[in-house]
Amino acid sequence: MQPYDIIIVGAGGGGMYAAMEALQTNPKLKIAVVSKVYPTRSHTSAAQGGVNAALANRHKDDTIDLHIFDTIKGSDYLADQDAATILCEMAPYVVRELENLGAPFSRLEDGTIAQRPFGGAQKYRCCYCADRTGHTILTTLFEQCLRQGVHFLSEYYLLSLEHDGQKAQGVVVMNMQTGKIEALPARSVILATGGYAKMYWQKSSNAAGSTGDGIAAALRAGLAVEDMEFVQFHPTGLRKSGLLISEGARGEGGYLVNNKGERFMKTYAPEKMELGPRDLVSRSIEIEINEGRGFDSDAGQYMHLDLRHLGADLILERLPQIRMLAIDFEGVDPIKEPIPIRPTAHYSMGGIDANNDGATAIQGIYAVGECSCISVHGANRLGGNSLLDILVFGKLAGRHAAQLAPSLNPGAISTSAVEKSLKEIEGYSHHDRTERYGELRDELGKTLGANAGIYRTKKKLEKGVEDIMAIKERFKNVRVNDSSAVFNTNLFQVLELKNMIALAETVARGALAREESRGSHSREDFPVRDDEKWHKHSIFHMNEKGDITLSTKPVTMGKYPLQARTY
């Protein structure tokens, strides 16, 4: 088979922007986008609140510098400042490019793109399409990719990433419709497979498919992954399902209220109130609940998000989707009643270690979007900066890969790579196997929630690691009961679980090692940020036996010195 010039794994915003840019850079290239779900079902479509860019449409004094500073402060000074600078400098360009491609942004009276306030930002900077921003961006990009002739391999599952130690060779995938395993040789591979917060299972805002597959494939292929211990908990997930109620709801003026009827954020962020950064607001909710000021229910303790004072007109115009989510999943109409919420695992700051072009240590292999750690979000991402991240670095990686690919010779993917996957998959249906997928998945989610959640201690994390290692051992005996070759969802769930277990181990081990509190990582036993010992990135590798090893690398600083982080 003739190699592809570029294979992009992932059809979310990151993957599709990369595909579009790569084809624009060199229209002669043969490019394919591989995705385990139909492209428009990628998690990007669930993004609600918006994308940040210092357009200064609402606040005329907003600047790119302020955006850079907010991003670095939000990251608790762990973001690489050169990368954060690129992110914010390119923001106005990519948002306007999207607008020109047809993304229907909400408008101000003067016809310019509407902007709303978002957590941790000094100015109104978040550009939005009502509360369906991700959906509109994703469909716009899909249309453009189809128009330009990007080839989509929808419902193909990535099994392994292949390279010869120096350069990319391609990927091994399974055609989910037929069960056939195929080697797809490529000069260049861009991983854009999204995040891993679904490992928290019932306590996650993520799509079922956000299981970190690309990051786990990179780990197994010997690549470095970075800062995995930093998992963002979004303050406002629905009480029962963990589904997201966008920060846009607080951006538009929603209040967080405890069982005493108090807007409790005045205790924790007197200036920014509900629009403090996510790590701070989530911790505040936890404290209120732990101190007995939460509401009780069978689904656990929760808080109120009150939008009633915003009025029906505003809610229907700017927050229609979250209203429907509250009605469908909690039976509560936000026009008439407060929404029951609690923090929910939402975003993976960690991911595949990549440079400012999205390039990894292996020539021709790139990582962009939520599966990458470039690192622009450091220890805590600001709302509206992830859609931005996938667009900016999707674009840069697509361009870089398109320029480099023609000079690379991929060689062949060895038949043993395909045979290895085949053997593994056949093994899962062996009748001696007794462990059930559902049990292991639930136990993984529970131990992560209990032991590697918002507040962490040495004792809890040690228990977390112990539990994860036990689950990893039991996984060796997991059985796929469905023997069908056609859409064997049981098999894909098991493969996803394998990936989540590998990444859960990095989360818990990284959190145990990091004896400080920074951004989303709050250690009750080390409550203070320790710049002397821990102002550095965590780096994880997997050795041939499957064990995780841990090292560190320095943070790239720039013109913003370390400061205390208050709001």
Ligand X SMILES: Cc1cc2nc3c(=O)[nH]c(=O)nc-3n(C[C@H](O)[C@H](O)[C@H](O)COP(=O)(O)OP(=O)(O)OC[C@H]3O[C@@H](n4cnc5c(N)ncnc54)[C@H](O)[C@@H]3O)c2cc1C
Which segment (262-270, 294-302, 304-312, 369-377) binds ligand X by CB under 6 A?
A: 369-377
List binders of ligand X among 252-271 (CB under 6 A): none
- The residue (of 35 and 258) whose beta carbon lies closer to ligand X is 35
Alpha carbon distance 457, 511 (integer Å): 9
Give 151's strand partners: 32
- The residue (of 243 and 269) whose beta carbon lies closer to ligand X is 243
Cα–chain-centroid distance for residue 268?
26
Which segment (13-21, 105-113, 438-446, 447-455) binds ligand X by CB under 6 A?
A: 13-21
Length of the chain: 567
Told to judge if 278 belongs to the known catalytic residues of this protein, a careful annotator would answer yes
Does 49 contact ligand X by CB under 6 A?
A: yes
Which segment (34-42, 88-96, 400-408, 510-518) binds ligand X by CB under 6 A?
A: 34-42
Alpha carbon distance 18, 463 (integer Å): 40
Which segment (78-86, 180-188, 193-201, 285-293) binds ligand X by CB under 6 A?
A: 193-201
Task: Give the 3-state secondary structure of residue 16.
Answer: helix
210-221 b/e with 16+ CB inside 10 Å = b?
Answer: bbbbbbbbbbbb
Quick note: the x/- pattern for ligand X over 199-238, rule CB under 6 A, is ------xx--xx--xx------------------------
* Cα torsion angle, 363, 228, 446, 385, sign: negative
Q: Pick from 6, 7, 8, 11: which binds ligand X (CB under 6 A)?
A: 11
Closest separation between CB of residue 33 and ligand X, Å? 8
List binders of ligand X among 495-554 (CB under 6 A): none
Question: Can you state the percent helix, strand and coil of the chain, rounding each to 5?
Answer: 40, 20, 40
Does 46 contact ligand X by CB under 6 A?
A: yes
Does 160 contact ligand X by CB under 6 A?
A: no
Closest separation between CB of residue 326 and ligand X, Å? 14
List binders of ligand X among 123-152 (CB under 6 A): 133-134
List binders of ligand X among 84-113 (CB under 6 A): none
Residue 552: Cβ within 10 Å count: 15
The answer for residues whose C-beta is within 8 angstroms of residue 17's C-beta and 6 or more apart is 94, 141, 390, 391, 394, 395, 398
Does 321 contact ligand X by CB under 6 A?
A: no
Does 390 contact ligand X by CB under 6 A?
A: yes
- The one-letter amino acid at 315: I
Does 274 contact ligand X by CB under 6 A?
A: no
| Count of residues of this chain found to bind ligand X when the rule CB under 6 A is applied | 46
Q: Maximum distance among all alpha carbons in the chain?
A: 68
Q: Pick from 119, 242, 384, 464: which binds ligand X (CB under 6 A)?
A: 384
- The residue (of 285 and 465) whose beta carbon lies closer to ligand X is 285
The answer for residues whose C-beta is within 8 angstroms of residue 93's C-beta and 6 or more apart is none
* Cα torsion angle, 200, 203, 208, 210, sign: negative
- The residue (of 221 and 371) whose beta carbon lies closer to ligand X is 371
Alpha carbon distance 284, 53 (integer Å): 28
- The residue (of 444 and 512) whose beta carbon lies closer to ligand X is 444
Does 14 contact ligand X by CB under 6 A?
A: yes
Give me the DSSP letters along 96-158: HHHHHHT----B-TTSSBPEE--TT-SS--EE-STT-HHHHHHHHHHHHHHHHTPEEEETEEE
Q: In Å, what is the CA distance from 449 to each residue of 159, 203, 445, 454, 456?
A: 28, 7, 6, 8, 10
Does 385 contact ligand X by CB under 6 A?
A: yes
Structure tokens at 247: 């920060």
Q: Pick from 113, 244, 349, 501: which binds ligand X (CB under 6 A)?
A: 244
Does 319 contact ligand X by CB under 6 A?
A: no
Quick note: the x/- pattern for ligand X over 173-192, rule CB under 6 A, is -------------------x
Structure tokens at 233: 């908990």
Structure tokens at 515: 């004896």
Catalytic residue among 132, 187, 278, 514: 278
Does 34 contact ligand X by CB under 6 A?
A: yes
Catalytic residue set: 278
Which residues form the interface with ligand X (CB under 6 A)?
9-15, 34-37, 42-44, 46-51, 133-134, 157-158, 192-195, 205-206, 209-210, 213-214, 244, 246, 347, 369-371, 383-387, 390
